[in-house]
Amino acid sequence: MKPLISVVVPARNEEKYLGSCLEALLRQDFQSYEVIVVDNASTDNTSSIAKQYKVRLVFERKTGLSYARNKGFSKALGEIIARTDADAIPPKNWLSRIYEVFEEDPKVVAVTGSDEFFDQGILLKYISRFLFLMNFYLIRMFFGHYQLSGPNFAVRKYTLNGIRFHENDSKVHEDQDIACHLCSQGKIVFVPSLVMPISGRRLKSDPLYLIRYFKKTIYTFFLHHPVHKWHSV
């Protein structure tokens, strides 16, 4: 029997975080789902860790988040494809809440929530939650649709057919790119209370991480929605 939801987890050298993510995913209160881990040319024990859990393990030799995501999407059996990151800790009701939104409205093509850093102290946890939340509303105000959060979104599988996504991860946010393609096919629903705990490790390794993040955000949206073609709110 095919699962209703396929969860895709791209992973490149994620031996430190992957186990915690998979344990959280396998504790979901939703019944019909599968978990697909995409090993993106890892050189550590990522694959070995994935094999310790009841998940499907696939490999993508081309390095890049977009390539890994696409491989996972292509292997998904579910009617709905959810995506999260290897350093995320999905809440127990994550999938059930996502599924409820799709069930309530057939016009919904994608569902997303916000994020927060869980490992950088209590102050930064709430600051990050606020900043991520404001980013969603600003994107909606200026471009007419919500973005998608890479560690915290799901789409109807059939909506991906025939779409050619951008794959240059150095310039484009792959999750926001999906949102720009899907916004014309139906509704993208943002659930503010659907918050995903993610690691803030990149803030330590790259002090300019947030600046680079927002720079890529601007590039991604203007690539799809030039000034003279902004969507009406």
pTM: 0.92
What average pLDDT does this structure show over 49-55?
98
pLDDT at position 168: 84
Per-residue burial over 150-188, b = 16 or more CB atoms within 10 Å of its CB, e = otherwise: bbbbbbbbebbeeeeebeebeebbbbbbbbbbbbebbbb
Q: Which residues contact 36 (CB under 8 A, 6 or more apart)?
A: 6, 7, 8, 9, 55, 56, 57, 58, 72, 75, 76
pLDDT of 189 above 80:
yes
Kindly report which listed range (102-111, 129-138, 151-160) carries the lowest average pLDDT score: 129-138
What is the rounded distance in angstroms from the CA atom of residue 98 to the CA atom of residue 30? 10
The pLDDT mean for the chain works out to 92
| Antiparallel, parallel or unpaired: β 80-83 and 153-156 | antiparallel
pLDDT at position 32: 97
* pLDDT tens-digit map of 116-130: 999 989 998 999 999
Kindly report which listed range (68-72, 117-121, 164-168) carries the lowest average pLDDT score: 164-168
Of 221 and 51, which is predicted with more confidence?
Answer: 51
Kindly report which listed range (30-39, 78-87, 110-119, 223-232) carries the lowest average pLDDT score: 223-232
Q: How many CB atoms lie within 10 A of CB 48?
A: 13
pLDDT tier at 163 (50, 70, 90 boundaries)? confident
Of 133 and 219, which is predicted with more confidence?
Answer: 133
pLDDT of 144 above 70:
yes
What average pLDDT does this structure show over 37-52?
98
pLDDT tier at 231 (50, 70, 90 boundaries)? very low
pLDDT at position 228: 45
The structural domains of the chain, ordered by start, are 5-229 (3.90.550.10)
